[in-house]
Structure formats: structure tokens, C-alpha cells
Chains A and B, each alone.
Chain A
């Protein structure tokens, strides 16, 4: 077999049973790899009755046909599970760079499925076809860097790759994440909490097998051509130079979507304290590349002096630096790096951590939380000492931290107030991206996407950076008007196109920045590289159809939980409060105008938000027509 391994490793932690299954040609054709493989398996095996922390929930790691090859920026991993963070709990997935995924591929697998629950803490050691469940009693409680060091020492191999959880995952903090190579996080939707519920501390992998290629010379040439394009690409060059820190200046001063104080504003006059040049020139120790990446946007930061002198950590990237900084009213760059070191070491999603603390601070300001609720803590915006303390209280579930560890939405439920300040969609906290400035296609993704409030439903950068690629937006959408961020023109179509491209990228495990921030990699490039790799010939149309199929199936996962149109909302702040300051002053996000148009292009029913039967059939998901019917009826009843 070329490209894929065609194998799924399944580990049942309750019984200790380890099996290898084959992933057949039909499944590969339908679902391609990575995210597609995972979503399909989650849909099959985790029905609506299963709770995220049940033994029956699955934690699925997936890689794709291009993972571990010369294909540029294609070494990522998707982790999929029913998420404990959302409300109601629903579809969860998160994606990580680093070097863990390629190692799993070299060990001979495309997918790793964890089910059941261990009685006491364990870790998994995958050494090609020798797979072992090992005691992790001595690592339980350790941070990410400690865990990495201890396991490498124990297995006597510093070159293995380890995906692990920190204390946050162990303590079932609902937004705990999984991290590999010490600091590359699969951040969103609480995958680390599911791993913690299974008492699985880490998965260590060593792989020694090659990835075979159907047409190696052609594969080399296609990859080389794309690498040349990337080298010459302005976005790639900027990402290499400043990392995602490059966003601070345009986000704040030109586009007005800088996340200030839990989205109270999209602009702050002193945002330049967090500008990319400043980080690069004073705090950047090294640039970091995920596997086979020709961008290397990753950062490794070191604080040279001051209160946090000597601290160093992978990252932070833009979402983290804003989540643990300006979202909480903090603009001190050293505090931001320090906080991001904490979220890495404890293993938490920075976005939802910022969401939880940001919510509490917003409520404090409004008088909805008082010191009677906080155990005497005062929650003033920008108070770094309190933030530092609260992060640890959340990880170890102490006092107010025990409530915030449930996430912002469940915290509002606990106090039964402050719902309007939970910046969540379906219970998942918004990433630090305000659609009142970032763009309307992004906004559609926030309201309707598979994770809840998150920019990675499609990362529709055609409306953000598309203008740097003359003719591209017009070629794809028929009009250059769609290049404008805050124009509604063709935004539903743009979001559909970009979420399909992104789903394909996530199957190949190709970084979104290579094809949907930079547009150096186009779907036709993916098709050519993939065809030469696997020997199965793919067209752009084939790929986009797979992308659409995945988006549709993930939607059906939600629909089975009786989540549809009513739950497709965005925080009121975006639709009801005009942007108060900055370059977009006065803008609101017209979600309710765009949502029906998006449903139409996606082929979702306007009343329920369920995929139409003919669309399911078109994607080859015929069996879902019958399966979803009772849920549609139940949803119509729920709607009254």
C-alpha cells in the first residue's frame, strides 16, 4: 500500500485488549485520512447516549496519507472525541503539529483508538508492532515537560515522540488539552479531559517503517514545486519572520478585531506592546518547525529579565498570547509569555482558559460576581497576580477555580447569571477573533461550525489575505468584492469552500496556514501530491466532495444530539453591540442575515438546520437519511 498504512490500532483500557484492524479501500476513499477517518469512526461508535467521560467514549488519534512524507507542512494529527466542554456535549476535535503524528505513521498505523478506562494511571508505549500499556503512577501529577523527560528516560530513547496530558487533564478540567513534543497542543474542545477520564497519561511512540510512495519521482517533483511556491510566498515569509505574532498590529490598528477584555472592544491604543517585532527582537529564542514544514511559524520564547527571568516555553502563538493577555486586560508581554508557559505545562486550552477567566472578570466588573462568590479574590481586569493564581486554582480545582474548570458556560449555569458574558457558541468559548472586525465568513463559521466558537471551521482567509493573491478570490467566488472582510457578498459560499478545503487539509494532515492563510498550496496541488503519493488519482472535485461529506457528517453528529438551527448562534455582543472603538467602530455582525444563505449553499434545511436528504445522498451518506429522520422529528417537536 502507498501513502496509507491501512491499519487502525485499537486499545481497550478496561480490558487491556490491543487489536489491529484494517482500514479498507472503501473507508479510505470516503474519508481520506486524519480528521475524516476520525469523524467517521466517532459517528459510528459514539452514539448520542454516550457521555464524554463514559468508558464507551472514544479518543481517536488520526493521521493521513501524506503524514510523515516530503509533502510540505503535512505532519499534523487530529484528535477526535465527544467533547466534555460544549453544552450540550457534542462534537470535539483538535489538531496538533509537532512530530508525534509522523511517528505514529512510521509505527505502521493511520489511526489509534482508545476506549474503556484504566483502573489506575497508565501510559501507552507503541514501539512499531509491540504495544504495551504501562504503569504511570509515578508520572501522574507531572507537568508536560516533566512527563516527556521521565518517559524518555524510562524507555531509554530521547528520540521518541510523546503526546501527553498535564495535571489539568488528570483533574478533568473540561478544557484540558493534549500536547506533544512538550508544547505542541491539540488545544480545543477538551480532548485532554477525555484522556484524563481514561486515566491515560501519555502515548509514547517509536516508528521505524518507511512511508511507501506509488510514484516517488513524480511525488518528489510535485512537492518540490509547491515548496518553491511557498518559499516565494509573502505570507509564508511573514509567518517565518514573526510567527503568528504578526497579527497583532493589523488585527488591532487596521482591522479592529483585537480581543480586548473578553471582546468588549476590538481595539486598544497600546496593543503595540504585543507587536511581532518586539517579540522577535527581544523574546524569540528559536523558530520552531512542525514536521516537514516549510513555514516554521512556531516560536520558542525566553524571558531575558524581570520577574519571570529565565522562563522559556514553546510559543506562544497569536491565539494563546491574546487569550492569556488582552482578553484578560493584560498587555505586559512578559506576563503573556509566563502565562502561556503555565498553560503548556499544565496542559490547558488557552482560548477556553481565557474564556473562563475573562467571563469571571467581566461579571466582576458588572457586579454579577462579588467577593462572596470568588472566595475573597478580586477580579480586576489586567491583574496579573490574580490571573497567575487563578490558573493554578483552575488546574487543581481549588475554590473559584473548581467552578471555572468547568468552563465559562457551566460557570454561568453554576451561578445562574452572567450568560450574556460567556462568549461561547454551543458552550465552547470563542477563540480570540471578533467577527465584527475579522470578517463575516469567519463569523458564519463561528455560529455554525463543528466545534462551537472557533476560527478553524474553515479559516476563511480568502476574506483576509485573499487580496494578496491577485485574481484568486474572483476565480473561486466569481467576484473580487468578496475580498473585503466586512462585505456580506459571497461569504456563505466562501465559508463553504474554505471549510471543505480545510477538511481535506485536516485529512492529509496539511497545515491550514499553508493553504488557507497563505494560499501557496491550492487544492490542485493537494490533488497532484496525493495522487502521486497513493497511486489513487484524485481531482479537485473529488477532494472538495470529501471535504463537504466530512462537514455534513460532523453536522449530523450534532443533529443526533438534537442540536440544529436554534443552537447556531453567536454571542450577543457580536450581533447586538456595535463595535465601540477602533477602525470598525459601529460594526455589528449580521449573523441572522447570513445564516439562512449559508444553510442554502450548504444544503441544510432552513427550519431545522439538518442536512437535506438529497444532500446526504449526494455525499454518499444514504444510510443517514433514515437514521436522522427520527432525530429531525424530535427536533421539530423540541422547536415546538
Chain B
């Protein structure tokens, strides 16, 4: 079976930041946007919000650059796992991440990152609008195509 991944449907995001709260609570037992692996970027005056999260890349710069060997791939989920006990806090991973991920725990002073919650990511589970989904890339693209062609068939605006 194809690996699932976190898919971002930016147009659906309501900017509520439930994902931030779910993530921080599940991973850190506290509620704090700063401790959340996913963050919502907001442009209030435009009414636009986008959840920014780790893509768990195929060629993971964070893993390649880590001098402490703290990042490894979890085979079952494809998640890149940060071993906080190995992390030396150099933030090389954040420096090279093209998406601005591999965040920094302000108290522990180590890098922390999305681990897909072991295959049931809380951010997607509690996202009220479907902006964050845990699915395969193929299924998510098929859903978008279906939505597009439904409009074409119905002759509506698109």
C-alpha cells in the first residue's frame, strides 16, 4: 500500500489553528503554538491562512546535514524522526529546510519535528475543514481532479 502523507489543501484552511493545539498537546503535553510542529501562516486582512508543516521529504536535507545523526526514517510511515537525545541543537536542519521546518524547542534547546504521530497525525485528525489531510498523494490529487471536473460537468464556475 502506498505511504500516506500529510496533504495541505490550503484553500480550505480557516486559520483556526486547531492543528497547532493538537500537535503541541500530543507531543509536549502543553498548549503552545511555539511547541507545535505545524504552524498556520495568516494574512488576516486578506482572509487567507495556510497550514505550514513538514513534508517528510524524499531527499531529507535535515537528515543529510545533521552532524549528530539525530534524524532517521521510520519505515512504516516514512516519517523523519528526530532523536532529541542525540540532537546537539546546532539548527543545521532548520537552516537547510526549504519549508522552514525542523523547529526549535525554546526550553529543551533541541530541534523538534513532525513525526506523523506514528501514523495517525493529530493535526489532520482534528482539522475541522479538511485543510490538513492524512492520505496518499494519489488519492488527494484524484479528489481535486474530481472536484474540478464535477464543476465542468455541471457547467458551473471554476
Q: Please give the residue numbers on chain A whose beta carbons come within 8 Å of chain B beta carbons, in ascending order.
A: 68-70, 72, 99, 106, 145, 148-149, 159, 181-183, 208-213, 216-217, 219-220, 224, 227, 231, 240, 285-296, 298, 300, 312, 314
Contact = CB atoms under 8 A, between A and B. Distances in A.
Contacts of B15: 288-289
A312 B47 contact: yes
Given A219-B25, A287-B129, 7 more contacts: A148-B45, A216-B30, A286-B47, A286-B49, A289-B14, A289-B129, A296-B128
Contacts of B31: 68-70, 210-211, 213
B29 A296 contact: no
B37 to A, nearest CB: 14
B45 A210 contact: no
Nearest to A212: B30
A286 B25 CA distance: 27
Contact of A289 (B11, B34, B46, B128): B128
Interface string B109-145: 0000000000000000010110000000000000000
A286 B22 CA distance: 23
Contacts of B9: none
A227 B46 CA distance: 28
B32 A211 contact: yes
A208 B106 contact: yes
Given A240-B128, A312-B47, A293 B18 contact: yes
B14 A287 contact: yes
Nearest to B18: A292
Given A216-B25, A219-B25, A294-B128, A289 B30 contact: no
Given A148-B44, A292-B18, A298-B14, A210 B129 contact: no
B16 A296 contact: yes
Q: Which 6 A-B pairs have the closest CB atoms?
A: A289-B16, A300-B47, A210-B32, A289-B14, A216-B29, A210-B30
A209 to B, nearest CB: 7
Interface in B27-80: 28-35, 42, 44-49
A193 B15 CA distance: 29
A292 B25 CA distance: 13
B17 interface: yes
A277 to B, nearest CB: 13
Nearest to B15: A289
Nearest to B11: A286
A293 B17 CA distance: 8
Q: Please classify how large the interface on chain B is, using the bins under 10, 10 to 19, 20 to 34, 35 or more.
A: 20 to 34
B21, B28, B44: residue with the most chain A Cβ atoms closer than 10 Å? B44
19 contacts: A68-B31, A69-B31, A70-B22, A99-B17, A106-B32, A182-B45, A208-B34, A210-B31, A210-B32, A213-B25, A213-B29, A213-B31, A216-B25, A219-B25, A224-B126, A289-B14, A289-B18, A290-B16, A312-B47
Given A213-B30, A227-B126, A286-B47, A220 B25 contact: yes
A240 B22 CA distance: 20
Nearest to B12: A287
Given A106-B33, A216-B30, A227-B126, A296 B14 contact: yes
B16 A292 contact: yes
A582 B129 CA distance: 37
B24 interface: yes
B30 A292 contact: no
A210 B128 contact: no
B27 to A, nearest CB: 11
A518 to B, nearest CB: 13
B25 A182 contact: no
A321 to B, nearest CB: 17
A149 B45 contact: yes
B16, B33, B34: residue with the most chain A Cβ atoms closer than 10 Å? B16
B119 to A, nearest CB: 17
B99 interface: no
B45 to A, nearest CB: 5
A292 B17 contact: yes
Contact of B28 (A210, A219, A287, A296): A210
B26 interface: yes
A145 B18 CA distance: 25
B118 to A, nearest CB: 15
Contacts of A211: 30-32
Contacts of B126: 224, 227, 294
Contacts of A72: 18
Nearest to A180: B44
A70 B28 CA distance: 13
Contacts of A210: 24, 28, 30-32, 34-35
Given A106-B33, A224-B126, A291-B16, A69 B45 contact: no
A209 B35 CA distance: 10
Nearest to B30: A210
Nearest to A159: B42
A69 B21 contact: yes
Nearest to A284: B47
A145 B45 contact: yes
A209 B32 contact: yes
Contacts of A220: 25-26
Given A148-B44, A287-B14, A295 B128 contact: yes
Contacts of B128: 231, 240, 289, 293-296
Contact of A70 (B14, B21, B49, B129): B21
Nearest to B127: A294
Nearest to A230: B128
Nearest to A209: B32
B153 to A, nearest CB: 17
Contacts of A298: 14
Nearest to B46: A312
Contacts of A287: 12, 14, 129
A245 to B, nearest CB: 16
Contact of A181 (B26, B44, B48, B129): B44
Contacts of B29: 213, 216-217
Contacts of B46: 312
B33, B45, B48, B126: residue with the most chain A Cβ atoms closer than 10 Å? B45
Contacts of B14: 286-289, 293, 296, 298
A294 B32 contact: no
Contacts of B24: 210
A470 B83 CA distance: 50
B25 A291 contact: no
B15, B32, B46: residue with the most chain A Cβ atoms closer than 10 Å? B15
Contacts of A224: 126
Contacts of B48: 286
Given A181-B44, A287-B14, A312-B47, A292 B21 contact: yes
Nearest to B29: A216
A314 B47 contact: yes
A159 B33 CA distance: 11
A68 B18 CA distance: 10
Contacts of A212: 30
Nearest to A287: B14
